[in-house]
C-alpha cells in the first residue's frame, strides 16, 4: 500500500456543486461552488496549478453510485482542503458569466 504522501487526492465534481449541501458531499464554500461542473474543468484547473493528475471518467461517487460522474486523481503533498479551495477559485475565475 502506498504511503500517505504517495497516495493521490481524489476530486469529485460533487465537491464543487453549488446545488449540494455540505451533508450531500459539497466540500468548498458556497461562494466558490459552481453549477454543472464537468471533469475537464477540474483537470484544467489542476493542470494550471502545475500538478500531476489523471482522469477517471468511469468512476462513480459512492453516495450517487448510479451516476457516472468521473473523478480527477491528483498527485500532491498539499492538504486536500487547500487543494479544493485553490481549484475552486481557478474554476470560478475561468467561468464567464
For the chain, how many structural domains are there in total?
A: 1
Q: What is the CATH number of the domain that holds 32?
A: 3.30.56.30
Which pLDDT tens digits describe the chain residue by residue (97 residues)? 666 666 899 999 999 999 999 999 999 999 999 999 999 999 999 999 999 999 999 999 988 888 888 999 999 999 999 999 999 999 999 987 5
Q: What is the largest CA-CA distance in the chain?
A: 44
Specify the residue for cell string 482542503: 81
H-run or E-run covering 36: none
* Structural domain contains residue 4: no
* Structural domain contains residue 29: yes
CB 45 within 8 Å of CB 91:
yes
* Structural domain contains residue 53: yes
Q: Containing domain of residue 40, as a range? A: 9-94
Model pTM above 0.85: yes
* Structural domain contains residue 56: yes
Amino acid at each position: 500500500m502506498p504511503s500517505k504522501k504517495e497516495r493521490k487526492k481524489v476530486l469529485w465534481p460533487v465537491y464543487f456543486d453549488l446545488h449540494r449541501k455540505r451533508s450531500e458531499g459539497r466540500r468548498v464554500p458556497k461562494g466558490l461552488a459552481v453549477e454543472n461542473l464537468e471533469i475537464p474543468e477540474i483537470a484544467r484547473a489542476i493542470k494550471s496549478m502545475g500538478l500531476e493528475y489523471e482522469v477517471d471518467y468511469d468512476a462513480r461517487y459512492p453516495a450517487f453510485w448510479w451516476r457516472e460522474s468521473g473523478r480527477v486523481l491528483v498527485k500532491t503533498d498539499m492538504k486536500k482542503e487547500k487543494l479544493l479551495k485553490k481549484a475552486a477559485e481557478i474554476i470560478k475565475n475561468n467561468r464567464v458569466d
